[in-house]
Structure 1
Amino acid sequence: MRKLALTIFAANSQLLHAGNQLVAHLGLSSAWWQVLTALRASEAPLTTAGLSRKMGLSRQAVQRIVDLLELHDLVKLQPNARHQRAKLVVLTEAGFAAVGRAERAVGPIDKVIADRLGAERIRNAINTLEELNDVIAGNLAAEVEKLSKKG
């Protein structure tokens, strides 16, 4: 299990580094791009808390990014009928355009990865990581919480 975790950490680091290089000329960072992409991929508008759950990041980290994206007119906050204080984060036209430019910028590396790994291996990796996330979120989170309080 430790080797899996270390491999995931290394892959994440490589993705963030490559992403930062590929979208820097667009005035974006990997973090901005991730939030914009998560918003575009969502079937419905999300709150900052919803975005943080979807991305596996802290709400505070996502809030800082959302605040910066709003300052750059890439997202806007809208009223939320379900919760008065938790605004919905939605892409602006400029935000949609920025995501499109970022996707085009990373397209070549996506193609290299897809060509090298193949569609089936990528699907299997996605399924495995989604299942891993479910196990951690559902079963292990409470155990981790208990262990961290002991230690």
Structure 2
Amino acid sequence: MAETPSETGVLAGRTIFEVLRLAGRLTLAGNDLVGGLGLTAARWQVLATAEEEVRTVAALARSVGLARQSVQRVVNDLAAEGLVALADNPADRRARLVVVTAEGSGRLAQADRLRVPWTEALAEGFTAEELAVTEQVLSRLRARLDRGTD
């Protein structure tokens, strides 16, 4: 017999499905926003994450929450366009490091110039407190999933 869900469990479930719907919309909007720069939402996400810290493809995949094989394909495309380079990894000769090139950093700067007015428009009507709480809750949910509490 199924356990009766708690109010917070029901709300968490509704939040999860809303986040999944939002993720789809953000992907489409991201593709539209940066498509003219030769980027997709996936390329943009991987490139921006790689710029934060030099990492292996596997570490990038864990960071963005995508399959390693998917991120490898994106990295290969970015490397073919000269936006990233693969460098030797002193810790593991088999797992090369993804390094954003100057051209990749320039492309990210262009994407950021497009992103700022877009996110400002999306933020209209929300208070800073609402957005801060939303970010905190989503971050905590992700951290629980990272720990294996699914």
TM-score normalised by length of structure 1: 0.86
Q: Does 2:37 correspond to 1:26?
A: yes
Runs of 4+ displaced beyond 4 Å = none
Q: Percent identity?
A: 33
Query: 1:87: Cα distance to partner?
Result: 0.5
Match of 1:50 among 50, 59, 62: 59
Which residue does the alignment assign to 2:17? 6
Structure 1 CA distance for aligned equivalents of residues 123 and 66 of structure 2: 26
Q: Does 2:51 correspond to 1:40?
A: yes
Structure 1 CA distance for aligned equivalents of residues 109 and 99 of structure 2: 15
Which residue does the alignment assign to 2:148? 139
Which residue does the alignment assign to 1:93? 102
Structure 1 CA distance for aligned equivalents of residues 22 and 29 of structure 2: 10
CA RMSD of aligned residues (A): 1.3
Change (3 A) 1:125 1:41: farther
- Aligned-partner SS, 1:117: coil
- Structure 2 unaligned blocks of 5 or more: 1-11
Which residue does the alignment assign to 1:17? 28
Structure 2 CA distance for aligned equivalents of residues 108 and 41 of structure 1: 22
Larger radius of gyration: 2
Aligned length: 139
- Structure 1 unaligned blocks of 5 or more: 142-151
- Aligned-partner SS, 1:139: coil
> Amino acid of the residue matched to residue 28 of structure 1?
L
Structure 2 CA distance for aligned equivalents of residues 97 and 107 of structure 1: 16
